[in-house]
Structures are given as C-alpha cells and as structure tokens.
Amino acid sequence: MYFEDDDIIGGTPKSRFLDIVFHANRNVVEGELEKMVEWMAALELIIEQKCGLDVEKEVKQIIHDEEKRKELENKMNSIYIEYMGQILSQSE
C-alpha cells in the first residue's frame, strides 16, 4: 500500500498517527504507547529466547536492506493504522 500526502485520509499513516497522538487524550495515548513498547519488548524476548538471534543485528539488517524496504514500510503503515484505530476508539 502506497500513501501520498494528498490521500483520502489526509496524509500518510505516519502523519495521521502523529496528528492523533498529539491531539488525543493524553491518558489514552500513554496507554497505547505503553502497549506498543510492551509488544516490542515481548517480540524481542521471543526472538532472543526462541530463535537465539541478536535482535539488534537482525533489526539493523532489515532496516538497511533495500529489498525489504517496501515490506518494512507496509508493516509500519499497518501498525500506524492499527494504533490510530485503538486511540480513536477510546477517545470517542
């Protein structure tokens, strides 16, 4: 999925996510950011314990691999959209 600044949603998933984070209820945003960090920490533990991999090394390889760049960007957009929905659903 490719997003441009003039998309129907009014920007990229990242820009919309940041707009929501900066304007939504602070307690709601704080809770969702805590969930994100908890999720990342759990994923790191799984990778380290079950796969025996060096997480930092693996992450850097994916970030700098041009062949995986589009896949990474798509995953990031998906995460921005998911957490936007979480924040907005609690802010109504």
pLDDT of residue 85: 94
Mean pLDDT in residue range 16-43: 96
Least trusted range by pLDDT, from 5-14, 22-31, 37-46: 5-14
Element (H, E) at 83: helix 69-90
DSSP 68: G
Domains of the chain with CATH codes: 13-90 (1.10.3350.10)
Give the confidence band of 10 by pLDDT, cuts at 50, 70, 90: confident
Please give the Cα distance from 30 to 52 (Å, whole number): 32
> What confidence tier does 2 reach under pLDDT thresholds 50, 70, 90?
very low
List CB contacts of 55: < 8 A, sequence separation 6 or more: 44, 47, 48
